[in-house]
Amino acid sequence: TAANATINRLMLQSTELVDKCIGSRIHIVMKSDKKIVGTLLGFDNFVNMVLEEVTEFEITPEGRRITKLDHILLNGNNITMLVPGGEGPEV
């Protein structure tokens, strides 16, 4: 149907956009309100992502928690928003 063709075209454009971000810094907002900033190494058709040099920002009852990680694998189902070139929340 025309609707399916439109959805497929939008998905292709989205993955092409993410593909252009490989090797660059990217800011990711997760469904859990966790924010992650890192260098995008790669992703698959489900937008599962591998990042390196990662900083994870999380709001806890005790305040903001910042965690540094060498690498992370993110499940695409848990990603709300991608911001190419973003450096994340103000520290």
pLDDT (tens digit per residue) in 37-61:
999 999 998 889 999 999 999 988 8
Task: Say whether 74 sits in a helix, a strand or coil.
Answer: strand
Q: Taking all residues of the chain, what is their mean pLDDT, rounded to a whole number? A: 86
- For residue 2, the SS3 value is helix
- What is the Cα–Cα distance from 74 to 26, expressed in whole angstroms? 13
Model confidence over 57-66: pLDDT tens digits?
A: 998 889 999 9
Can you tell me the mean pLDDT for 29-36?
A: 91
Cα distance between residue 27 and residue 40, in whole Å: 10
Task: Give the alpha-carbon dihedral of 35, 23, 16, 75, to 10 degrees.
Answer: -40
The alpha-carbon radius of gyration of the chain (Å, integer) is 14
The pLDDT confidence band at residue 7, using thresholds 50, 70 and 90, is low
pTM of the model: 0.80
Per-residue buried b or exposed e for 35-65, using 16+ beta carbons within 10 Å of the residue's own CB: bbbbbbeebeeebebbbeebbbbeeeeeeee
